[in-house]
Structure 1
Amino acid sequence: MKKLVLSFMIIMLVSIMAACGGEDHASSEQGGGETVTLNASNYKFDKEEYKAKAGDVTIQLKNAEGYHGITVEGTDMKIDGEGKATANLKAGTYKIICSIPCGEGHQEMTALLVVE
């Protein structure tokens, strides 16, 4: 009986670890493409505007201070906490918004992604 319970617990632990180990992706990452890194701190991103070439664009979010997430308007890109998301973007301007309430300045925590 003890072996059965131990085996069950090991299987559950492995299942939980496998479920928690992935990163959020808006679409599958493909080779090529361009990566844009956003460094988020309380109530601001490190830049007001980021640039990338049209095609596969990967956004990498790093939290320098506080806990933040992003959504990119007009796309299905979403990151909660630190991570990456990739999407095939056409030329245009996309608004990046902090998606996790982070305090008084949260409403103003936006930036632009200009895809050329």
Structure 2
Amino acid sequence: MRNPGGPAEIIVHGKSGFNIDHYRGDQAAEILVDFFEKCKTDPSHWTNISEGGLKRIEEKYTWQIYSERLLILTGVYGFWKHVSNLDRRESRRYLEMFYALKYRKLAESVPLAVEE
């Protein structure tokens, strides 16, 4: 399930999850009821959706893929910095913007260590 304002490519509706508009509760309820009814009649339906989600993650959202994208962005940034000859303040603003847009949510999602 996802927020309709988020990236659409994360979930393929009905294959790796469900796109649910939290502003349309009736539609959300229908999607959930339909999902659970299908699971009741076909127990493999739950597994198919779960495996579809895991497959989507493996295809699009691994650390290997993120690191490759980051290396590409680093190259682009390096070239851009060289061409535009940014000063330190502008470089810092760019990096802060990049962090806020790309990595803040990812960093917030990492669970804190809990001592037992």
TM above 0.5 = no
Which gives a bigger RCO, structure 1 or 2 (Cα 8 Å, sep 6+)?
1
Q: TM tier, shorter chain?
A: under 0.3
| Larger helix fraction of residues | 2
